[in-house]
Amino acid sequence: MENKTSRELILKTLVEKSSMKQDVYANTLKAFGVLKSVAKSLAFELSKEIAQKDKRVVIEFKEKGEFEFELRVAGDLLIFAMHTNIFEFDKNHQVWKSSYIKDDHYRTFCGMINIYNFLNDSFKYSRINDLGYVIGRIFVNKEDHYFLEGKKQLGFMYNDFVHAVVDENAIKAVLESTILYCLNFDLYTPPFDSVKEISVMDMQSVSESMQIKTGKRLGFRFQADNDLID
């Protein structure tokens, strides 16, 4: 086999890898656009339906730019943010076990959409010390295949990377499951020992910015729960 020059190798890599990453980016941006559109429609529909039962419950969609939007569902705030870079999975990741990946390792390169869960009051009252959680990450590859890495049902309902292809119905199912997860992921009071001491400065600023830290699982081991969160 003839040895290629450095320039030839650079061009070969640009054609193969960089062009592939452009395809992945385009697919991820398209998927994010579908997600945004579905979220906006769902928020409108749910808002109308819940208003007939309880007008105090707010369902609201808010555009935050090309790569981010918010979905308020009652006391929860879901933030969806698309990362603009492309990622490859670590060799220890489970995706490498499938023949789908072994046949073409470029299929492991994915765009990523992060799903964050915050308390709406954290932003409403500018409680900058409050905690939010990454509850899911949607990965999309060059062939529009996707899977969702996340907590509990979010992690096992949408992990068929080999067959699952992005479309409006798939995105709607993911979105509805995400909302249900957040609604069932309730706010726990923190352990007494973690809040029994407070500084004078924090106490004086409570009325202004609510400096006492709040989070759905504050004081509990969220990351180590291994998807067994109730």
For residue range 46-82, list pLDDT tens digits in order: 999 999 999 999 999 999 999 999 999 999 999 999 9
Counted domains in the chain: 1
For helices 168-184 and 19-51, give the axis angle rounded to 10 degrees.
60
Any domain includes 133: yes
- Alpha-carbon separation of residue 135 from 66, 71, 91 (angstroms): 21, 14, 23
Residue 223 lies in a domain: no
pLDDT per position as a tens digit, 127-159: 888 888 899 999 999 999 999 998 777 777 888
Tell me what the mean pLDDT of segment 24-40 comes to. 98
Scanning the structure block, which residue is given the tokens 């295949």? Answer: 145
3 or 28: which leads in pLDDT: 28
Inside any domain, residue 228: no
Sequence-distant (6+) residues with CB within 8 A of 228 are 152
The parent domain of residue 46 ranges over 9-186
Backbone angles phi, psi at 42, to 5 degrees: -65, -40
Does this model's pTM top 0.75? My answer is yes
Q: Is residue 86 part of a domain?
A: yes
Cα 49 to Cα 45: distance, rounded to the nearest angstrom: 6
Asked if residue 230 belongs to a domain, the reply is no
Cα(191)–Cα(140) distance, integer angstroms:
39
The answer as to whether 199 is a domain residue is: no
225 pLDDT band, cuts 50/70/90, is very low
Residue 117: inside a domain:
yes
